[in-house]
Amino acid sequence: MYDTVDPAPPLTRLSEDEELLRANVRAFAAAEVAPLVREMDEQAHIPRTLIDKLFDLGVMSVEIPEKFGGAGGHFFLSVIAVEELARVDPSVALVVDVQNTLVINALLRWGGDDIKRRFLPRLAAGAVGAYALSEAGSGSDAFALATRADADGDDFVLNGRKLWISNAEEAELFIVFANAAPEDGYRGITAFLVERATPGFSVGKKEDKLGIRASSTCELLLDDCRVPRDNILGELGRGYKVAIETLNEGRIGIGAQMVGLSQGALDHTLAYVQERKQFGQPISAFQGVQFQLAQAATELEAARLMVYNAARLRDAGRTYLTAGAMAKLYSSQVAERVTSLAVQLFGGVGYTKDYPVEKLYRDAVIGQVYEGTSNMQLQTIAKQLLLGAAPQTPGKR
């Protein structure tokens, strides 16, 4: 019962290359991902063979320049890829999302020529990346991290523990945030590139999660982990800027994931309500059902437009902080409403694992938590609104 359903095309106009990517990823998801969804969810694991196929498809290196082996595309293309994959399996979409909007994006923006030369070809050829910021005591308060980085000659020695790190089971390269000068507060935070084989680095407990179960979420352990100074991403003590600006873009990717899984739930529901009969007619004939579907489709399209707008602003080099926060906030809210409606309209079978909507419902819950909780998005939006409406100093314009 996990076969894909062809949705109505989105109303948003796409360029020729964007339409081509959407079609290719949609076909890939139907042929390669859909048959594995239930097994991956139950086993909490994505087969390496499927990840290799994602690399072959080109969606794991969307913005990496062609000279480094990547697709040489733009940010919006990664958003489309995440959306289409999430329509079938949000876990697979998250692997692609973290790779592009967090890891590769950070290297492109903050990495020098040497770092790009050393790491981008690997990320294009088959190496999965992960982004390690969160800790037990630093979630929404991201800059309260306790992981230390002590200078020792040409190296830094890292000690600490990271939690809730997506892609950790598969990753070969990790962006790890540690404080190299705790006395300076957040201005001591530095981003380091840590390879999996580095002595003193290990991947610990894998979390047993409610949703997006196939996507790995693990702790990282750093015990006298020695990292060369050349592996600093950006500048010493500027890791807080790397974190803030990268997460701003990552939220757009999460918005795309939420839009995609909402579309998947709605697609399945539209097909089911025309098959399921009660009182001698399909339940789609009842006005109450029709109105709920219309409301869900309207909210979903609004969420999609918000995500696309934020992505377009980013590609145009314009300010997108508020747009990204709004897109992430609203799309995650819509995802919970649409997937909940899907379970309701499927009735009793919607609550079973024989049908796909219960999984999408579980997958939707995380949208209001990771990459900045909904409360943090509201705080960001409110702050920007108030800054924009700040009263002018008397006598000045």
Active-site residues: which are they? 371
Q: What are phi and psi of 275, to 5 degrees?
A: -95, -40
Contact 363, 340 (CB under 8 A): no
Distance CA 230, CA 236 (A): 11
Burial class of residue 186 (count of CB atoms within 10 Å of its CB; 0-12, 13-18, 19+): middle
E strand intervals along 15-168: 129-132, 148-152, 155-166
Q: Which helix (H) or strand (E) holds 278?
A: strand 277-278
Contact 53, 31 (CB under 8 A): no
Distance CA 15, CA 311 (A): 14
Find residue 189's DSSP bridge partners: 179
Find residue 273's DSSP bridge partners: none
Q: Which helix (H) or strand (E) holds 177?
A: strand 173-179
* Alpha helices, DSSP H, located in 229-320: 239-275, 287-315
Of residues 81, 42, 80, the one with CA closest to residue 60: 81
Distance CA 214, CA 209 (A): 9
